[in-house]
């Protein structure tokens, strides 16, 4: 029965995959694009924190104070405010032109000076959740500061006794491009890991070369391992280069963590992703089915793994469900390594999870592949 694993077979079959990939120009272009153009455009498109939020002002006061408040709402956080009247306000918000509309009531300045503590009204388009949340805080602060300063100057009062100082660890300026660049790399690693191996398997089946391997002294295990190591090397190389050249070099983002540890984790993660890809390749009967399946798998992996929005804010069931995806653990460890400079002592639990989940999918894929191949022999 099955003879010992032959490393030479695995090596040779893997080298064959390289040739196969380098022959497909469109695919090569896509791989290069994913780790250069895609990473670049994604990380530069994202606003740094609150950026260019659209705001309009209904200035019913037209006082010195209202002018000061409006002047304080400026780029980069906000685009220069547009002056509208009350009727236009609704239309503008309906059409999605303004995320925020600040209504400064008549006699605002007078009331402030008289200590009547008047209220401003801030209208927020709450369907734009993330901007609505951050922007509201900004507007509150800006208005508060301006009013405070105005009042202090006119009343000559003392500074507030209690100050709140906030500092951001690991990313002092809360630059979003840090985050998005890494997210882009992670997403592309996932996509390539799954697509390349799965599609390679289906292509071999459609072109009959898989059947040919059946009459050779080669085992399904060897076929799988050869695909995994070769695709793994391609993606690890591409992602590491992307990290060094694109992220650190071109985008000038200082990544503190160990590139080696990240590379090793990526390799381990690719083992898991490629196993999932092969598993899907054995499930799908044709390329169109595989295409649909891959969308259904990639989408949740990209959006719900914590790479796009924080995981702890998701419902518990989803968190539980996603804890079975290797991506979730990979995202957590990648963020730890790259942003917080964490070492092996910190990330080993996640590494272990990635390896364990990968092993499960690998075993599943191997079983299916053996069965498919068994069925093909007939």
Footprint of another protein on 286-315 (CB under 8 A): 286-296, 298-300, 302-304, 308-310, 312-315
Q: Which of residues 18-77 bind another protein (CB under 8 A)?
A: 19-20, 23-24, 26-27, 30, 33-34, 38, 41-42, 44-54
Q: Which CB, 87 or 160, lies closer to another protein?
A: 160
- CB of 76 or CB of 359, closer to another protein: 76
CB of 326 to another protein, least distance (A): 17
Rounded to whole angstroms, how far apart are CA atoms 146 and 217?
79
CB atoms within 10 A of CB 105: 15
Helix axes 176-207 and 287-304, enclosed angle (nearest 10): 160
Tokens of 159: 């500074």
Name residues contacting another protein, limited to 220-279 (CB under 8 A).
none
The distance of closest approach from Cβ of residue 95 to another protein in the complex, given in angstroms and rounded to an integer, is 6
Q: Which distant-in-sequence residues (6+ apart) come within 8 Å of 259 by Cβ?
A: 240, 243, 244
d(CA 332, CA 338): 10
Structure tokens at 264: 């090793």
Task: Give the side-chain half-sphere CA count within 13 A for 83.
Answer: 9
Beta strand 100-104 with 82-83: parallel, antiparallel or unpaired?
Answer: unpaired
Let me know: does 235 contact 270? Beta carbons within 8 Å.
Answer: yes
**Which residue in 57, 84, 332, 351 binds another protein (CB under 8 A)?**
332
- Give the residue with the Cβ less far from another protein, 45 or 359: 45
Minimum Å distance from CB 210 to another protein? 9
Q: Does 354 bind another protein (CB under 8 A)?
A: no
- Rounded to whole angstroms, the Cα distance separating 51 from 131 reads 9
Query: Which residue has 């709450």 as its token pair?
Result: 126
**Residues between 113 and 172 that touch another protein (CB under 8 A):** 115, 117-134, 136-141, 143-144, 147-148, 150-151, 157-172
Stretch that binds another protein, among 192-200, 236-244, 258-266, 271-279 (CB under 8 A): 192-200
Choose, by CB under 8 A, the member of 200, 234, 278, 365 that binds another protein.
Answer: 200
Q: How far is the CB of 320 from another protein (least distance, A)?
A: 11
């Amino acid at each position: 029965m099955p003879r010992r694993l032959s490393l030479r077979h695995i090596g040779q079959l893997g080298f064959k995959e390289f040739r196969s990939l380098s022959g497909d120009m469109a695919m090569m272009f896509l791989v290069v694009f994913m780790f250069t153009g895609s990473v670049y455009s994604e990380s530069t498109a994202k606003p740094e924190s609150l950026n260019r939020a659209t705001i309009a002002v209904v200035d019913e006061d037209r006082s010195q104070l209202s002018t000061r408040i409006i002047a304080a709402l400026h780029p980069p956080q906000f685009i220069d405010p547009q002056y509208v009247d009350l009727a236009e306000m609704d239309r503008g918000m309906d059409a999605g032109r303004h995320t925020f509309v600040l209504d400064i009531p008549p006699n605002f300045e007078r009331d402030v000076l008289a200590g009547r503590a008047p209220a401003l009204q801030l209208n927020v388009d709450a369907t734009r959740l993330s901007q609505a949340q951050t922007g509201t805080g900004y507007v509150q602060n800006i208005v508060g500061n301006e009013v405070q300063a105005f009042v202090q100057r006119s009343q000559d009062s003392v500074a507030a006794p209690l100050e709140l100082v906030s500092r951001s660890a690991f990313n002092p300026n809360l630059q979003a491009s840090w985050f998005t660049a890494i997210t882009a790399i992670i997403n592309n690693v996932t996509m390539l890991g799954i697509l390349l191996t799965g599609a390679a398997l289906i292509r071999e089946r459609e072109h009959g070369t898989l059947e040919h391997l059946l009459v050779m002294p080669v085992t399904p295990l060897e076929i799988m391992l050869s695909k995994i190591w070769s695709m793994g090397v391609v993606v690890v190389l591409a992602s590491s280069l992307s990290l060094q050249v694109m992220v650190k070099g071109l985008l000038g983002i200082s990544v503190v963590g160990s590139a080696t540890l990240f590379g090793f984790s990526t390799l381990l993660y690719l083992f898991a992703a490629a196993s999932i890809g092969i598993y899907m390749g054995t499930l799908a009967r044709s390329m169109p089915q595989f295409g649909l399946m891959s969308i259904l798998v990639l989408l949740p992996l990209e959006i719900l793994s914590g790479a796009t929005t924080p995981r702890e804010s998701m419902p518990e069931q989803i968190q539980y469900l996603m804890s079975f995806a290797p991506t979730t653990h990979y995202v957590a460890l990648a963020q730890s390594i790259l942003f917080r400079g964490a070492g092996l002592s910190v990330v080993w639990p996640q590494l272990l999870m990635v390896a364990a989940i990968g092993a499960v999918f690998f075993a599943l894929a191997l079983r299916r592949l053996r069965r498919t191949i068994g069925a093909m022999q007939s």
